[in-house]
Chains A and B, each alone.
Chain A
Amino acid sequence: MSAIAIDRPRTEADHVAPPVAGAAAIHIKGLEKSFGNNRVLRGIDLDIPAGQFVAVIGKSGCGKSTLLRILMGLEEPSTGHLRFEAFDGKDAQPNTRIVFQEPRLLPWFSVADNVAVGLGEGVPTEVLRKETASVLSEVQLAEKADEWPSSLSGGQKQRVALARALVSKPGILALDEPLGALDALTRISMQELLNRVWRELGFTAVLVTHDVSEAVHLADRVVVLDEGRIVLDLVIPYPHPRRHGNPALAELEGQLLAAILGDIRS
């Protein structure tokens, strides 16, 4: 269990690409959240350096989605602190974007207009068109710009959703089981895409998933939640991009699965 490292110093393996100027560090201290009598989060302490890719995994109902929703400002914490720190060390409200499990595209807008939603209001048309086109070619959907979302496959829709999240160059990207609804092959190519854009753009990424293999392949660090507490905080010290079928990763996968399923097996 030497791989457990809570509040450890930042290591070289934490990120490969230098973080972008807007990438923000996330500091969570003593975070709790209750819905009525249901204590979903029971004291979370987590420091995520700028530009790190963190995966949060755990069984259904462990509180991982709630943690992400609090990060996104969709829920208020019951107690505890949440602080974002800009690259220059100052407190800042970073540009945070999310990709949901479902694409959540507006079916009445073209693919390009859906991506433009990510830029917000008051952006000049020229800039809008340029940014939209560039991010669409980033996710390899440039030729679909003028189509309706209904004509796309599930994987393509999710790539449009990713483009919408990336178009404003976010400092933090939250990913709420974004690949959960895709078939196995599409999922692998989406993982490669996610890894590539993260290395190129250098944002801080928080991925919520229950796919251990996905977490190990994408993240610098995997945090295991159980009943609202962090039970394991594991660094994945391998360079990106990672190959599927790497035995060292499989070993870590096993370790994580044991931690998640521990109380079921015993």
Chain B
Amino acid sequence: MSAFDTSFIRVGAESRTRPVRTARQVISLQRFLPFLLPIVVIAAWQLGSAFGWISTRIMPSPAAVVVAFWQTTISGQLPNNILVSAGRAFAGLLVGGSIGFLLGIANGVSRLSEQLTDTTLQMLRTIPHLAMVPLVILWFGIGEESKLFLTALGVLFPIYLNTYHGVRNVDRGLIEMGRVYGMSNWTLFRKVIFPGALPSILVGLRFALGIMWLTLIVAESIAASSGIGYMANNAREFGMTDVVVLTLVIYAILGKLADVVARTIERKALRWNPAYQN
């Protein structure tokens, strides 16, 4: 019994002398942890390709993807196509997002507007917007309009739903306070309704960003003569798996980038909210 007690005390004393070092080690390990899995996978992939276990016709080696990145960057093909795709993405987000936002505000504030349009919007929402691709090609061919239309349509509904939901859920007590304190409709919107709905609107924005890239990938693969989706499809025809994988990586980076931007906006715009104070 006494031996057990002694060992217990020693362990306790030891851990008391080391907390600073272990804390630092834990932090650096935790920073590293999210990257562990991708690094292992990429290393195994590179090894597999180098030893010929993975056919380059199915999957290029990571090194080949890096080379493809370098070559297409120097030739200007990659930056140009990224610019074209990003331009389309944000044009679609701007158009569809604005429409969704305005409809969401209008239907959240006005009963008449809600009765007039909400049922129709809910009905349209259930149609997968990518099912419109054949019709859109018939309407616009493979020009810019088809991509703009599809992206705008895709982002419209998440922004509409979340804006509407946000406006509807603004604390009634705050609105009553605003009215009693003599706010005009515009002031009430600016100071109470919009900031109150903003957390929900930003959730809608993040949903919309995901849908925006998804729509663009599909639209560009099917009907385009430029852009990253086109680049991937073109590479497929020539069997250039390295370029195909490169485009996937680019999409992942662009998607992550958009999400980081949205998160940053959230943290800045919602810093009053304890849930975002960190």
> Which residues of chain A have a CB within 8 Å of any CB of chain B?
72-74, 97-98, 100, 102, 104, 106-109, 117-118, 120-121, 148-150, 164
CA distance A106 to B175 in the complex (A): 10
B177 contacts A by Cβ under 8 Å: yes
A102-B173 in contact given A107-B273, A109-B191, A148-B272 (Cβ < 8 Å) = yes
B12 contacts A by Cβ under 8 Å: no
Once the chains bind, are B184 and A100 in contact (CB under 8 Å)? no
Cβ contact of B180, chosen from A98, A121, A149, A150, cutoff 8 A: A98
Q: Closest residue of chain A to B198, judged by CB?
A: A108
| A to B contact number (C-beta, < 8 Å) | 46
CA distance A164 to B187 in the complex (A): 17
What 0/1 readout, one digit per residue, does chain B (154-173) give for beta carbons within 8 Å of chain A?
Answer: 00000000000000000101
A106-B191 in contact given A120-B182, A121-B184 (Cβ < 8 Å) = yes
Q: Closest residue of chain B to A148, judged by CB?
A: B272
Q: B144: which A residues are within 8 A, CB to CB?
A: none
Once the chains bind, are A74 and B195 in contact (CB under 8 Å)? no
Once the chains bind, are A108 and B173 in contact (CB under 8 Å)? no
Once the chains bind, are B176 and A74 in contact (CB under 8 Å)? yes
Q: A107: which B residues are within 8 A, CB to CB?
A: 272-273
A118-B195 in contact given A74-B176, A102-B173, A108-B272 (Cβ < 8 Å) = no
CA distance A210 to B192 in the complex (A): 31
What would 6 A/B residue contacts be, using CB atoms closer than 8 Å?
A: A73-B180, A104-B176, A108-B195, A117-B183, A150-B272, A164-B181
Interface centre among A100, A104, A150 (most CB of B within 10 A): A104
CA distance A117 to B191 in the complex (A): 9
Once the chains bind, are B192 and A106 in contact (CB under 8 Å)? yes
Once the chains bind, are B272 and A118 in contact (CB under 8 Å)? no
B274 contacts A by Cβ under 8 Å: yes
CA distance A100 to B191 in the complex (A): 19
Cβ contact of B174, chosen from A106, A118, A121, cutoff 8 A: A106
Interface centre among B180, B195, B270, B274 (most CB of A within 10 A): B180
Q: B180: which A residues are within 8 A, CB to CB?
A: 72-74, 98
CA distance A97 to B182 in the complex (A): 10
Q: Closest residue of chain A to B179, judged by CB?
A: A74
CA distance A219 to B69 in the complex (A): 79
CA distance A149 to B182 in the complex (A): 21
Q: A108: which B residues are within 8 A, CB to CB?
A: 195-196, 198, 270, 272-273
Q: B272: which A residues are within 8 A, CB to CB?
A: 107-109, 148-150
